[in-house]
Structure formats: C-alpha cells, structure tokens
Amino acid sequence: MPDSHPLSDWQLHCARRTIFSGGVIAYPTEAVWGLGCDPWDQEAVERILELKQRPVEKGVILVASSVDQIRFLLEPLSQALQDEAERYWPGPVTCLLPDVERQIPEWVRGKHTSIAVRVSEHPVVGALCKAAGMPLVSTSCNPAGRQPARHIWQVRRYFGDQLDWIVPGALGGNRKPSRIIDIVSGQQLR
C-alpha cells in the first residue's frame, strides 16, 4: 500500500536534503505550523531558537512518524511507563519522557531531564520523519510572544527568506497545540 501523504517525491526529497544539510524547514502539523530540523545538528537547532528568540533552556519537542523512531527513549523506562506513553500515540499528545541515559542533546532538551516527544498522525509530519529516518525538532512557527502561524502567509511574514524550505500542506483539524502529559507523574502540563 503506498504512503498516504500529500507530498510529491520531489517535495520530500527537497525537505530531506534541507534537513540533512543543516537547514531549517517549516511544515504543517496537527494545529499550527512548525519549525523543524535535525535534532542532532546543534547549529540548526540554535538557528531555530534564534529565529524564535527562544532560550535554549526551554527545550523543544521531538516529533516522530512511529514509535520505532523513538524506541531508544522508551527502552530504559519501565514497561508500565512505556505502555502509558504508547497509549497516546500516534496522536496529538506530547509525552514528557525521562531521558534516563541522556540520549538527547541538551540543545534540544534544554535544562530539563525529560524530553517532550510526539508520535504524530499528521500525514506531512509522518512523511517528513519517515523520509529523514529519524525524529525531528518541532516547535511552533512564530517568534516568542507572537501567535503561532496557522497559515502559510504567516510563516512567510514571520520568517520570510530566513527559512531553507517551506513544506506545503494543510494543518490537521486540531484548534489547539498538542496536550503535554508528564508520563511519570501523569500530570497534564498543557
């Protein structure tokens, strides 16, 4: 069965090439436009933080196309915590997972000992992560203090030619950004 996403092979190729060359992309997510890059590329992550005027201490979210892409973060956790996280995915829920073995760089994690992760069911996000073969940074596409972009024209107004690629597509049906659940405490943070 072919992948069911609205992107052409060329669009995916361009996005993948941009990510692997240290670039920053904008793309539609479940509720708002996001900015993304390779989470292991410190310069790319720092560029996103600079664009957003966001301090590194806050950290950013990782999105994945499947649980397998973030399995390495689940394996150090108890089976109960793994099961708790997996019950939310794929879907519009971001889970805070303890980064027990410090596998995620601090420029992504920020000052936290946990990492925020979502296994997305959005077709564009899934296609991007699958094409990249890894989870990607995902943070709302807006400068700090401004409303997250809900339209491509807002993406262009906020960042113009400062982005390396804008991936076309439609937002998902959610009106609010994903809920954030701390898997250890069960507390909903957003």
Q: What's the mean per-residue pLDDT of the chain?
A: 94
Number of domains in the chain: 1
The pLDDT tens digits for 85-141 are 999 999 999 999 999 899 999 999 999 999 999 999 999 999 999 999 999 999 999
Residue 144 sits in a domain whose CATH number is 3.90.870.10
SS3 per-residue string spanning 31-63: CCEEEECCCCCHHHHHHHHHHHCCCHHHCCEEE
- Rounded to 10 degrees, the C-alpha dihedral 174/185/139/31 comes to 0
Residue 72 has pLDDT above 50, yes or no: yes
Q: Residue 48's domain spans which residues?
A: 9-182
Q: Is residue 65 part of a domain?
A: yes
Residue 2 has pLDDT above 70, yes or no: no
Q: How far apart are CA 60 and CA 44, in angstroms?
A: 13
Identity at 183, one-letter amino acid code: I
Q: Is residue 1 part of a domain?
A: no
pTM of the model: 0.93
Q: How confident is the model at residue 1 (pLDDT cuts 50, 70, 90)?
A: very low
Identity at 123, one-letter amino acid code: P
